[in-house]
Amino acid sequence: MESVDYQNVISDKDIRRFPISITTTEVNLTGSWRFYKPEFKEKISPCSVGCPANTNIPKYIHYLLKNDMDRAVEVLRRENPFPATCGRVCPHFCQSKCNRKDYDGAVEIKQIERFVGDYALKVPPKKAKVLSSKKVAVVGGGPAGLSCAYFLALGGYRVDLFEKERFLGGLLIYGIPDYRLPKEVATKEIENILEVGNINVNLGVDVNKEKVEELKKNYDAVFVALGLSEDKTPGNVAIDNEHVFSGYELLKEIKVNGRVDLDGDNISVLGGGNVAFDIARSIRRAGKDVNIICMETLETSPAFEDEKKEAIEEGIKVVDSRFLQNLKITDRGLHLQLRGVDKVLDNYEPVLNDYVEYMDTDILIVAIGRKREESILGIEGVFFGGDFYNGAKTVIEAVASGKKAAFEIMAKLEGKEFKLMNEDDQFFRSTDDFDEYKVIPFERININYFSEQKPIKLSRLAANERVNNFNEIVMKPSLEKILREAKRCFSCGVCNECKTCWFFCPDMCIDVHEKVDFDYSFCKGCGVCSEECPRGVIDMVEDK
């Protein structure tokens, strides 16, 4: 075939037929065609709302996936100074709100937080500077008091922290068994909090009403989170003989000594909460037979579900829907009279029926709740928090309570008004890392960019392996597993720099670095970027 010389075939006159510009096309400002324009607006993820501390969960997962662990730690610590602790003992309300649960199962946020939290144990915190001459007294060295002291210290305030025990930590050190929370983990997180600076610790100080009144005179603000004091007792049952013991005091002794010292082989624990199950499981590890007696049904008892499941696996018998009406001391121990319970009212009062049951036991341990010092609550001008103010709650709720109080105190001392982002949900995040309070629903996620993948399965010690020791039950997942699970996160409402918008933009007017930027000179407002965004961070708004 004869070749054609196109250069000679196309004349100068013909060349004018082709749309060739002799200047840059940038002179054509196509943005003038626009009626709507895209706006980058990060939203609030449902999991962040579910977390009492309102942690920015998608953001720290994003940095984990970028292999920027220090930034992941920084994001976590902005809202919660106890990530390694909460990664173990928190019930993770966030997971029940996770958008992914409506697709193929909620992300295992708890295990991701634990992984990042364990890394954080080795990362020293940034030192705080003293920015104010004002001083704040914090009473109580548990999670609420420590959290309050931490955020006040970061805010530049000097804090005097008062604790009656020999060690800081409260229930983290004295009340949660090592198989759930190893003491060294909680201890290291407390050390990291103190490393921030600005916190002066006073141990062995028992604070009463008179002491709080004195602190109020000598400090610019006072926060009280004493926790709860002695155990409540049911009816005429008194903790004053060799057969009846306080649950919390026993847990404290076990945690400090690392062993169970109880005479008798048949032990009964009264209560249906986490403390009751923790005591029962700790005693079971000493080779003793243990019963849990609770007013609620097993299903409605307030202990965490995994606590109940693991207790039964370990051979603990639960006698539910029973109320201890009376007991007698016998030569062999205690003779218990139990009444049947139809239901438990909101004020924890049981509705009894005619059923009567008798049970013999060597020892009874009472774990049905604890009291607080009511007289202190009457002091005006004092901030309160933690279990002392809110009743028995979770660790993360105590942390959130302390954080919120710290910012309320700082607002007061600076002459400002403390505001929640959303009054209904009590949403409060210490950082201004969002544009508005708008929780992004599942429907706003572009599901086309995600494939179904079930959550990771956690490895646990088998019951026969764990009943002889206090080793941690849930095994630490591998990095490979954690990264695979982290990739399941939708990153709802939070940009993770996927650059999908950049890829689809027909006008090449999008830049992505930490956030999405638009060149409005050329953006025609076609809306492709908003439609394609997997995470719902680009809104189309009227261009007025």
Query: Which candidate, 470, 462, 281, places its Cα nearest to that of 365?
Result: 281
The average confidence (pLDDT) of the chain is 90
Angle, alpha carbons 207-170-391 (nearest 5°): 80
Q: pLDDT tens-digit profile of 141-173?
A: 999 999 999 999 999 999 999 999 999 999 999
Q: Is 90 exceeded by the pLDDT of residue 133?
A: yes
Walk me through the domains of the chain, giving residue ranges and CATH numbers.
Answer: 25-42+496-542 (3.30.70.20), 46-123+434-486 (1.10.1060), 135-229+372-413 (3.50.50.60), 244-366 (3.50.50.60)
| Residue 465 pLDDT exceeds 90 | yes
Dihedral (Cα; 130, 136, 141, 147), 10-degree rounding: -60
130's tokens: 């003293």
CA 366 to mean position of chain CA atoms: 28
- Nearest Cα to Cα of residue 93 among 27, 140, 145, 49: 49
pLDDT given at position 79: 97
* Count of residues making up the chain: 544
Using 50, 70 and 90 to split pLDDT, how confident is the model at 328? confident
Cα–Cα distances in angstroms (integers) from residue 368 to residues 89, 138, 281, 301, in the given order:
20, 28, 16, 11
Place of tokens 């943005």: 31
Contact 190, 336 (CB under 8 A): no
Is 98 within 8 Å of 106 (Cβ atoms)? Answer: yes
More confident call, 311 vs 262: 311
- Of 2-6, 235-239, 275-279, the range with the lowest mean pLDDT is 2-6
Residues 6+ apart with CB under 8 A from 406: 147, 148, 149, 150, 151, 152, 155, 223
Q: What is the value of pTM for the model shown?
A: 0.89
Asked if the model's pLDDT at residue 237 lies above 70, the reply is no
Q: What is the pLDDT of residue 160?
A: 98
Instruction: Please enumerate in sequence order all residues whose Cβ is within 8 A of that of 94, keeping only pairs 6 or more positions apart, or say none.
Output: 47, 48, 50, 51, 55, 57, 109
The pLDDT, as a whole number, for residue 8 is: 55
